[in-house]
Amino acid sequence: MSAPVLEFRDVVKRFGSVNAVDGVSFTIERGQIFTLLGPSGCGKTTTLRLVAGLEEPDGGEIFISGKSVAAPARGFYLPPEKRHLGMVFQSYAIWPHLTVFENVAFPLRVRREANEMVRQRVEHALEIVGLGGFADRGATQLSGGQQQRVALARALVYEPEILLLDEPLSNLDAKLREQMRVEIRALQKKLGLTVLYVTHDQAEAMTLSDRIAVVNRGRFEQVGTPEEVYEKPQTEFAAGFLGRMVSLLGHIRKNSDGCWFEFPGQSARSPVADTLAASFNDGVPVHLSTRPEDIDILPNGAPQPYQLVATVEQVAYLGESFEYHVRAGGVAFVLTAAKKHRYQAGETIRLALDPARLNIRAV
């Protein structure tokens, strides 16, 4: 099997005494969209810049298609222009003194391609991003979305090893962002591109990526498919950053009848699966966490296993749905529910948890 398109081995980048990238290792296979997802300042952009060669690592080694491009231990560093990459900057970085055509042609001009070749490839690249006929415009006469497309065309014009996208959609309005998201995905499939994508927007990461790395404080908290990362978050941070979490405190009860969870102020016994029960003793406090969308709201009644009696404290009308502020056994959280039934503030309800989608953790 061929070498991965990109490989990080224990890469470290320091700014002063802060480790912006703190011993990161990962690989990207050809034709994948790999997303670095994390809050601002987590080191995701620095990671991208290390790939581009705009930063030099302080430790570890970086390989592109099996060839080392930065190995500080050996004092080796390949400058950005020799890495054959394409990059779209958050600001697009469209050169204001050049036309659309010359902006896109720049990478080819640098490589001293023949004029006819340049013309064909630039026109092709502009066609791909849907800007055919814009070639002679001044770069500054374009709208934000169009500039973004020019930047994309410029990055694609010479078939880069990896396409680096640094929050490319964050400066666009919501509608355009959705449209570009779909287009980038389609383009990547069509051209078989390998993409390293940086974003802090989880919706973007979920819809675009083959694999997501959740980045926090210079470290990768978790790497996996969007589904893996969302459904099976391995760390508190990963769970909290992707979507919301409802966290309940309970106790394990164990006697001859079996093993069950006991929630404060709740009567129903929620049996614990035998496989799990063995690892707990009677009276152990545990955290149960679940995604709010996995909780169903039911009218008041006798609580069954995994059902909590709760009170609606506030209701907000969101148009497409209701937002309920509920309180169950001293814990307050927010649930969104469809409009088919409306509960009133002050009403007693039941909340049904999905045992298959509960994460259980000892306190």
Is 58 one of the binding residues for other proteins (CB under 8 A)? Answer: yes
Q: Which helix (H) or strand (E) holds 176?
A: helix 174-191
The answer to whether 166 and 198 have CB atoms below 8 angstroms apart is yes
Smallest distance, Å, CB 112 to other proteins?
Answer: 10
Closest CA to 337 of 284, 279, 277, 295: 295
Selected from 10, 25, 67, 73, the binder of other proteins by CB under 8 A is: 73
According to the binding rule CB under 8 A, does residue 244 interact with other proteins? no
Report how far residue 265's alpha carbon sits from residue 273's, in angstroms, rounded to the nearest whole number: 22
**Considering only residues 151, 156, 180, 326, which one is a binding residue for other proteins as defined by CB under 8 A?**
151
Q: Give which of 189, 203, 212 is closest to 35, Cα–Cα.
A: 212
Q: Which of 5, 164, 208, 295 binds other proteins (CB under 8 A)?
A: 164
Who's near 45: CB < 8 A, 6+ residues apart?
166, 167, 198
Task: Give yes or no for residue 121 binding other proteins (CB under 8 A).
Answer: no
Minimum distance of other proteins from residue 140's CB (angstroms): 12
Give whichever of 41 and 72 is closer to other proteins, judged by the CB atom.
72
Distance of closest approach, residue 138 Cβ to other proteins, in angstroms: 13
64 vs 288 by CB, closer to other proteins: 64
The vertex-93 CA angle with 90 and 97, nearest 5°, equals: 160
Any contact of residue 83 with other proteins (CB under 8 A)?
yes
Q: Give the contact letters, 9-48, x = binds to other proteins (CB under 8 A), - = no.
A: -----x-xx-------------------------------
Q: Rank residues 73 and 332 by Cβ distance to other proteins and give the closer one.
A: 73
Long-range contacts of 175-181 (CB under 8 A, 24+ apart): 176/144, 176/145, 177/204, 180/145, 180/148, 181/207, 181/208
Nearer to other proteins by Cβ, of 92 and 237: the residue is: 92
Q: Which stretch binds other proteins (CB under 8 A): 73-81, 224-232, 238-246, 305-313?
A: 73-81
Asked if 45 and 78 count as a contact pair (C-beta separation under 8 A), the reply is no
Binding-site size, other proteins (CB under 8 A): 39
Cα separation, 266 vs 256, whole angstroms: 21
CA dist., res. 109 & res. 115, Å (int) = 9
Of 84 and 254, CB closest to other proteins:
84
Rounded Cα distance, 324 and 126, in Å = 48
CB of 351 to other proteins, least distance (A): 44
Binding site for other proteins (CB under 8 A): 14, 16-17, 52-54, 58-59, 72-75, 79-87, 89-93, 95-97, 106-107, 109-111, 151, 154-155, 158, 164
